[in-house]
Amino acid sequence: MTDRPDLSNLPSYRQPRRSVFSARKVALMASVVAGLGAAVYGFSPSTSPADLFSSPAHAQVNNEVRKVERPVGFADIVERVKPSVISVKVNIKEKTASNDDGDDSSSPFQPGSPMERFFRRFGGPDGFPGMKGGRGRVVQGQGSGFFISADGYAVTNNHVVDGADKVEVTTDDGKSYTAKVIGTDQRTDLALIKVEGSSNFPFAKLADSKPRIGDWVLAVGNPFGLGGTVTAGIVSASGRDIGNGPYDDFIQIDAPVNKGNSGGPAFDTNGEVMGVNTAIYSPSGGSVGIAFSIPASTVKSVVAQLKDKGSVSRGWIGVQIQPVTSDIADSLGMKKAEGALVAEPQANGPAAKAGIESGDVITSVNGESVKDARELARTIGGMAPGATVKLNVLHKGQDKVVNLTLGQLPNTVEAKADNDNDSGKGANRGTDVPKLGMTVAPANSVAGAGKEGVVVTQVDPKSAAAERGFKEGDVILEVGGKSVATAGEVRDAINTARTDNKNSILMRVKSGGQSRFVAVPIAKS
C-alpha cells in the first residue's frame, strides 16, 4: 500500500468541503431546472397526455376546439356560381328631368321616401359613377343581375331597367348580349329580362329554404362598373321593413354591397340564391355593412307571373288596416297585441261586401295566424285574385269566420287628401272633454267637417290627446265602439269605459281623408 503525500502545507491547497452544502446546492439546482422545464412545457403550443399542469377546464376547452372544423374559403362556391352573374347596362333617351338645382333625377320611387334615398345611394343615376345624363341627352346606367335559366331569362331590379330603351348585358367571360325587358314589378323592385344569343347560359338556382340569422352570404355583382366582384358576410336580420310599402320583407346582410351591385344575387353556402340585392343604407354612399335583399321566395312568386303575363296580379280585400298596439289591444279586451285592425273597409270592396266593419281585427287567414298588418298585406297580396279565403275576425269582442273572394289589387291607389284647412272657421268653440285635453263640437256645425262625428276644435299641447296625435280639424267618428255626434256622447262613452275599469278607450278618427283607430288613456277619477 502506497502512502499518500501530505499536501496540506502547500499554499494553494484547500481542504475539499464535503458538507451538507454540496447536497443542498445540487438539490437547489435540480429544482430550478425542473421549474424551468415545467414552465417551458406549460407554455408550449403543443399538448400531450403528460400535461399535468393543465387544469381540467382548460383541457376540456382544448378538446372541444379540436372538434370544430376549421373555416375554409369560398373559392369552390364562387367558381361554380360566378358565371351566372351578369352586368346590366341600360340607355334611357331623353327621359330625365332636372330639378331647380340642375341635378338629374330619375328615381322610380316617391321623392323623399326611404326607397328613394336608398336608390340614390345604391343604383340610381346619381347613385354611382358610370351614370351619365342630362337634359335632352342619353342616360346610361349600370347594375347587376343573374341568369335563372339556360335559355337566357335573368333577374335584376326594376329600378335598374325601368324606362330603358336599350338593355345590354355582359357575362362573366366578357361577352356582350342584347336583352329585352319581359316584365317589371315596382312594388317589389324586381324585373325579368330575356337575353338573346344563346341557349346554354350558366344559371343559378333560387333557394327553397329561408336563411337563418348568422348564415354566411356571398354577394356577387358589378360594383362601380369594375366587373364581377365577390364579397362575403352574414345574414344579420330578416323581415326588415324599410318603408317602401306593405310588401317589405327584406333580408338584411352585412356583406359589403356597393353601388352597381343592385339586382345582383346573394348566395348561400350551397351556391343557391337566397336573395336579390336591392338597397343599402349608407350616409356616405359606400357600404357600411347594411344591405337589403329581396327573399328568394318573393322572387320566385313575382318572376313566375312576370314570365307568364309580364305583370303581377295581387289579391285584394279592400280594407285600410293598421297595427294592433298594446293600448289598442287593451281597449278591445285582447290578450295579445296581434292581428290587423280594420280602420275602414273600402266601399264595395270584398271585405265590405262580406260584412267586415271598422274596428274588426283580422286574426288569421285560412287558419294561419296574422302577426301584424304588414303580414296580412303580404299574405293577401301573395294570393291570386278570385281565390276564396277564410278570415277569422274579432268583431265587437266576439270571434267570427268570414269567407270572401279576393279582388285584384288596383295598379294605382287613390289617395284622398282633405285640403280644407279652414274646417274650424265659423264654428263655435266647442265643448271641453275632461281628462283628454281637447275641445270638440258636432261635425255638422263646422264647415267642411261633414255630417258624422264630432270635430276637434282645440287640443292642449300637453294633453293625452296631443300625445296620441290629435290635432285641430280631426273628426272623431266612434268612441268605445259607439258612434258619437255630440260632446256629451263622448263623455258618456268615456265614463262607461272608466266604470268598466279600462285603462284606455278606442276612438275612430278621420284625418286628412284617412281613418285610423287611436287608443287614448283615460284617468280613473
149/349 Cα distance (integer angstroms) = 39
First to last CA, the chain: 127
- Contact, 324 vs 497, CB < 8 A? no
The closest alpha carbon to 89, from 169, 7, 18, belongs to 169
CB-based contacts of 238, cutoff 8 Å, min separation 6: 210, 211, 213, 250, 251, 252, 295
Name the catalytic one among 189, 254, 330, 474: 189
Phi, psi of 100 (to 5 degrees): -65, -20
Name the catalytic one among 159, 236, 287, 474: 159
Q: Among all chains, which residue has been given the C-alpha cell 353601388?
A: 259
Dmax over CA atoms of the chain, in Å, equals 147
The DSSP annotation for 118-163 comes to: HHHHHTSTTTSTT-B--TTSEEEEEEEEEESSTTSEEEEEHHHHTT
* Known active-site residue 189: yes
Phi, psi of 443 (to 5 degrees): -60, -35
* Known active-site residue 262: yes
Q: Among all chains, which residue has been given the C-alpha cell 281597449?
A: 331
146/201 Cα distance (integer angstroms) = 10
Could you say which DSSP state residue 355 is in?
A: T
Name the catalytic one among 87, 236, 262, 287: 262
The closest alpha carbon to 159, from 128, 203, 197, 135, belongs to 128
Query: Catalytic positions, please?
Result: 159, 189, 262
